[in-house]
């Protein structure tokens, strides 16, 4: 249903379904990641009136997981680029993931997608600094398209 992409890495489509409406990608070596792209694969649309809130969690073996809202994707906006290089561990707010028993490694962060009502998604405030400006997003998507086009030839 979802994909996750970091520049210089293979596309991830192996999200773990941790609940009926929650999916998690492991992000190894997160310290060297500036941006992450989360997108719908196009195989399964969101149910009517629903979308996906996108969260990021630093590894924290001592204090438990702290999830930070990055933004959201919908059937009308099936992909988004998020800047994670300026996020800080320990900062976060309410999140729908609860306490998960997914094994965590010290250098593996997680990106989560939670299926939620659209009315709820538009009222949430993403963590400061996670949103990429529209010009940056366009240039990054264009660069990604060029890389993929060259790679597939």
Q: What are the contacts of 119-124 at 24+ separation with CB within 8 A?
A: 119/49, 121/51, 121/53, 121/72, 121/74, 124/53, 124/69, 124/72
pLDDT of res. 80: 94
Structure tokens at 65: 């997981």
Structure tokens at 49: 């009136």
49 secondary structure, DSSP code: T
pLDDT of res. 115: 97
pLDDT of res. 7: 87
pLDDT of res. 69: 93
pLDDT tens across the length of the chain (153 residues): 999 999 889 999 999 999 999 999 999 998 899 999 999 999 999 999 999 999 999 887 666 677 899 999 999 999 999 999 888 776 656 556 655 545 555 678 999 999 999 999 999 988 877 776 555 555 656 666 565 555 555
């Amino acid at each position: 249903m979802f994909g996750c992409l970091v520049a210089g890495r293979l596309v991830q489509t192996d999200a773990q379904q941790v609940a009926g409406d929650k999916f998690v990608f492991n992000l190894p070596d997160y310290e060297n990641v500036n941006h992450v792209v989360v997108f719908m694969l196009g195989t399964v649309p969101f149910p009517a009136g629903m979308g996906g809130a996108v969260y990021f969690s630093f590894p924290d073996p001592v204090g438990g997981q702290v999830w930070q809202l990055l933004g959201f994707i919908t059937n009308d906006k099936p992909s988004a680029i998020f800047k994670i290089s300026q996020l800080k561990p320990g900062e976060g707010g309410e999140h729908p993931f609860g306490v998960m028993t997914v094994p965590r490694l010290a250098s593996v962060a997680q990106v989560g997608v939670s299926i939620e009502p659209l009315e709820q998604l538009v009222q949430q405030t993403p963590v400061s600094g996670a949103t990429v400006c529209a010009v940056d997003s366009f240039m990054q998507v264009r660069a990604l398209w060029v890389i993929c086009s060259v790679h597939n030839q």
